[in-house]
A and B are shown apart, each in its own frame.
Chain A
Amino acid sequence: MDYEFLSQPAASVARMTMEEGESLTCEVGAMIAMTTGFEVETTTRKRGGKGGGLGKALKRMFAGESLFLNHFTATEPDQSLIIGPQMLGDVMHFPLTGGSLIVQGSSWMASDTDIEIDATWQGLGKALFSGESMFWLKCTGEGDLFLSSFGAIYEVEVDGDHIVDTGHIVAFEDTLQFSIEKAGSSWIGSFLGGEGLVCRFQGQGRLFCQTHNPPSFGQTLGPKLKPR
Chain B
Amino acid sequence: MHETYFTGGVFSSSIDGGRAGADIELAHDAIKASAKDGQLFTLRYSDCNVEMGGFNNKMVFCRNEDRSLTIFTEDKKFSAALAFAAGGLLDDQLQAGKNKVKSDKRSGRNFVLICMVCLVVGLTGLYYGIKIAGSAAVDALPVSVDKQIGRHTFTGMELGGEEIHDPVIVGAMETIVERLAPHAALAGLDYEVHVVRSEQVNAFALPGGIIVVYTGLIEHADQPEQVAGVLAHEISHATLRHGLERVGQSLGVAAAVNLLIGNVEGLVVLGAEVFKLATVNSYSRGQETEADSEGVRMLHAAKIDPLGLAQFFEILKEEGNGLPASLEWISTHPDHQARIINIRGLVAELGPQDYEPLDVDWDDVRRRVDDMN
Interface residues of A (CB under 8 A from B): 95, 97-100, 102, 120, 123-125, 128-129, 142, 157, 159, 172-180, 202-206
Specify which chain A residues have a CB less than 8 angstroms from the CB of B22 in the assembled complex.
Answer: 98
- A98-B9, A204-B61, A204-B70 given as contacts; is B36 within 8 A of A177 (CB)? no
Q: In the complex the two chains form, what is the Cα distance from A128 to B70 in whole Å?
A: 33
B53 within 8 A of A: yes
CB distance from A128 to the nearest CB of B (A): 7
Of the candidates B54, B104, B107, the one whose C-beta lies within 8 Å of that of A175 is B54
Q: Across the interface, do B11 and A204 meet the contact criterion of CB distance under 8 Å?
A: yes
- A202-B53, A203-B54 given as contacts; is B9 within 8 A of A175 (CB)? yes
Smallest CB-CB A-B distances: 5 pairs: A98-B21, A125-B112, A174-B55, A177-B53, A203-B53
B17 within 8 A of A: yes
Q: Across the interface, do B57 and A177 meet the contact criterion of CB distance under 8 Å?
A: yes
**Sampled A-B contacts (27; CB under 8 Å):** A95-B17, A97-B19, A97-B21, A97-B36, A98-B20, A98-B21, A102-B55, A125-B115, A157-B18, A172-B55, A174-B55, A174-B56, A174-B59, A175-B9, A175-B54, A175-B55, A175-B61, A176-B54, A178-B55, A179-B108, A180-B111, A202-B53, A203-B51, A203-B61, A204-B61, A205-B19, A206-B18
Chain B contact residues: over half helix, strand or loop, or mixed? mixed
Q: A125-B112, A128-B112 are known contacts; what are 8 more A-B pairs with Cβ within 8 Å? A: A98-B36, A124-B112, A159-B67, A174-B54, A174-B59, A179-B108, A203-B51, A204-B70
Specify which chain B residues have a CB less than 8 angstroms from the CB of A175 in the assembled complex.
Answer: 9, 11, 19, 53-55, 59, 61, 72
Chain A contact residues: over half helix, strand or loop, or mixed? strand
Q: Across the interface, do A97 and B20 meet the contact criterion of CB distance under 8 Å?
A: yes
Specify which chain B residues have a CB less than 8 angstroms from the CB of A123 in the assembled complex.
Answer: 108
**Per-residue A-contact encoding for B5-22, CB less than 8 Å = 1, 0 else:** 000010100000111111
Specify which chain B residues have a CB less than 8 angstroms from the CB of A159 in the assembled complex.
Answer: 67
Q: In the complex the two chains form, what is the Cα distance from A35 to B296 in whole Å?
A: 94
Specify which chain A residues have a CB less than 8 angstroms from the CB of B115 in the assembled complex.
Answer: 125, 128-129
Specify which chain A residues have a CB less than 8 angstroms from the CB of B72 in the assembled complex.
Answer: 175
Q: In the complex the two chains form, what is the Cα distance from A176 to B59 in whole Å?
A: 10
Specify which chain B residues have a CB less than 8 angstroms from the CB of A102 in the assembled complex.
Answer: 55
Q: In the complex the two chains form, what is the Cα distance from A121 to B353 in whole Å?
A: 79
Specify which chain B residues have a CB less than 8 angstroms from the CB of A179 in the assembled complex.
Answer: 104, 107-108
For chain B residues 47-101, which have a beta carbon within 8 Å of chain A? 51, 53-57, 59, 61, 67, 70, 72, 74
Specify which chain A residues have a CB less than 8 angstroms from the CB of B21 in the assembled complex.
Answer: 97-99, 142
Q: In the complex the two chains form, what is the Cα distance from A56 to B12 in whole Å?
A: 34
Q: In the complex the two chains form, what is the Cα distance from A175 to B55 in whole Å?
A: 6
Chain B interface residue count, CB cutoff 8 Å, equals: 27
- A99-B19, A129-B115, A204-B70 given as contacts; is B55 within 8 A of A176 (CB)? yes
Count of CB-CB pairs between chains A and B under 8 Å:
71
Q: Which B residue's beta carbon lies closest to that of A205?
A: B19
Q: In the complex the two chains form, what is the Cα distance from A172 to B74 in whole Å?
A: 16
Q: In the complex the two chains form, what is the Cα distance from A65 to B218 in whole Å?
A: 75
Specify which chain A residues have a CB less than 8 angstroms from the CB of B18 in the assembled complex.
Answer: 157, 206
Q: In the complex the two chains form, what is the Cα distance from A120 to B54 in whole Å?
A: 14
CB distance from B10 to the nearest CB of A (A): 10
- A98-B9, A125-B111, A204-B70 given as contacts; is B19 within 8 A of A173 (CB)? yes
CB distance from A84 to the nearest CB of B (A): 26
Specify which chain A residues have a CB less than 8 angstroms from the CB of B70 in the assembled complex.
Answer: 204
Q: Which B residue's beta carbon lies closest to that of A127?
A: B112
Of the candidates A98, A177, A206, the one whose C-beta lies within 8 Å of that of B54 is A177
Q: In the complex the two chains form, what is the Cα distance from A205 to B10 in whole Å?
A: 11
Q: Which A residue's beta carbon lies closest to that of B15?
A: A97
Specify which chain B residues have a CB less than 8 angstroms from the CB of A173 in the assembled complex.
Answer: 19
Specify which chain A residues have a CB less than 8 angstroms from the CB of B108 in the assembled complex.
Answer: 123, 125, 179
Q: In the complex the two chains form, what is the Cα distance from A47 to B70 in whole Å?
A: 34
Q: In the complex the two chains form, what is the Cα distance from A131 to B112 in whole Å?
A: 15
Specify which chain B residues have a CB less than 8 angstroms from the CB of A125 in the assembled complex.
Answer: 108, 111-112, 115
CB distance from B108 to the nearest CB of A (A): 5
Specify which chain B residues have a CB less than 8 angstroms from the CB of A202 in the assembled complex.
Answer: 53
Specify which chain A residues have a CB less than 8 angstroms from the CB of B20 in the assembled complex.
Answer: 97-98
CB distance from B112 to the nearest CB of A (A): 4
Q: Which B residue's beta carbon lies closest to that of A203?
A: B53
Q: Which A residue's beta carbon lies closest to that of B52?
A: A177
Q: In the complex the two chains form, what is the Cα distance from A120 to B17 in whole Å?
A: 25
Q: Which A residue's beta carbon lies closest to that of B20?
A: A97
Q: In the complex the two chains form, what is the Cα distance from A175 to B74 in whole Å?
A: 9
For chain B residues 91-149, which have a beta carbon within 8 Å of chain A? 104, 107-108, 111-112, 115
Specify which chain A residues have a CB less than 8 angstroms from the CB of B111 in the assembled complex.
Answer: 125, 180
Of the candidates B17, B55, B67, B74, the one whose C-beta lies within 8 Å of that of A177 is B55
Q: Which B residue's beta carbon lies closest to that of A96?
A: B21
Among A124, A157, A202, A203, max chain B CB count under 10 A is at: A203
**Per-residue A-contact encoding for B181-223, CB less than 8 Å = 1, 0 else:** 0000000000000000000000000000000000000000000
